[in-house]
Amino acid sequence: MVKRIINLIKLIQIIKARGNWPLIRRSKKQLLEFILCKNGLNKKPLIIAIPYWFYMLKGLDVLVWRLETFGFLFASNLNDQQKKT
């Protein structure tokens, strides 16, 4: 339980540092559907989505990888110039 809380704090720090804010602002609905598991790839009812995210916080690396895959996070090896292009 404590590890998941620590991972949640780390995830918030990662999003602040590497978040693709222009994409997040443009596609708030898509991000919300991703979080609530309403998109076509990972469709779940809300009752099951909450424990799913609680389980996902156990391994932060997979969650960060998924956010990078969907474009909500920049890769960790990019510099500021590469992020703007």
Tell me which residue of 62, 73, 58, 48 sits closest to 5, measured CA to CA: 58
In tens digits, what is the pLDDT along the chain, a chain of 85 residues? 788 889 889 989 988 888 888 888 888 888 888 888 887 767 888 888 888 888 888 888 888 888 888 788 877 766 665 556 5
Q: Report the pLDDT value the prediction gives residue 10, as an integer from 0 to 100.
A: 92
Spans of all domains in the chain: 2-84
Helical axes 60-69 vs 2-18, angle rounded to 10°: 30
CA distances from 30 to 6, 44, 81, 82 (A): 26, 15, 26, 24
